[in-house]
Amino acid sequence: MPPREPASPTNPIETEGLQLDRPQVTAGGIPAITSALRHAIGEAGPVRGIKLLRDVIQFAGFDCPGCAWPDPDTHRSMAEFCENGAKAVAEEGTLKRVTPEFFRQWSVAELGRQSDYWLGKAGRLTHPMVLQATMSQSHGKTLFISATPDTDFTAAARIVIIRN
């Protein structure tokens, strides 16, 4: 088997385009709600975006995917999330989809050089994916390929058994 293309275990740190401004007077209120809605509606559409924000950190809803802050036990406000939580919910609820074609275009090493932000903005998976077993058809690049009902998961199962 040819050597694999090098991949980094960590994402790159991006500092380009960052700017430091004076802090706002408040961290909440109408500007924060407007920002949360802008992110949710921009990623998930108006109906889905508002439903997602309505349900995050609610008793009959779901936990925020962006943090591990403990949920209040007795009372929860209508907007029981921070702006970063709204961004995380919006990204998880995005209408953008990553299809097998995306993984034919990007090698594992190329994906490893992208930031978490870039990867998250690409969209959500539409198919289960597996790491390509051979690299002969991909011109020396290690790629993820779409798993099918015929995909052989024997090697992965052996690794799990050995580690346990």
Three-state secondary-structure class, residue 51: helix
Q: What average pLDDT does the structure give for the chain?
A: 80
Computed on alpha carbons and rounded to an integer, the radius of gyration of the chain in Å comes to 20
Q: What percent of the chain has pLDDT over 90?
A: 20
Residues in CB range of 111: below 8 A, 6 or more apart:
7, 119
- In this structure, what token pair is assigned to residue 108? 């594992």
CA dihedral 96, 100, 101, 106 (to 10 degrees): 90
Using a pLDDT cut of 70, give the percent of the chain over it. 79
- pTM (2 decimals)? 0.65
Q: Would you call 98 helix, strand, or coil by DSSP?
A: strand
d(CA 116, CA 72): 29
Name the DSSP letter for residue 71: P
pLDDT for residue 22: 85
How does pLDDT run across 20-69, given as a tens digit for each residue? Answer: 888 777 667 788 888 889 999 999 999 999 999 888 887 787 888 888 77
DSSP letter, residue 145: E
Q: Per-residue pLDDT tens for 111-134? A: 988 988 899 999 998 888 887 755
The secondary structure of the chain in percent helix, strand, coil, rounded to multiples of 5, reads 40, 5, 50
Distance between CA atoms of 55 and 61, rounded to whole angstroms? 4
Residue range 2-20: mean pLDDT, rounded: 73
**CA angle 12–18–23, rounded 5-degree value:** 130
Please report the pLDDT score of residue 136 as a whole number.
45
Contact between 46 and 97 under an 8 Å Cβ cutoff? The reply is no
Please answer whether residues 80 and 61 qualify as being in contact, where contact means their C-beta atoms are separated by less than 8 angstroms.
Answer: no
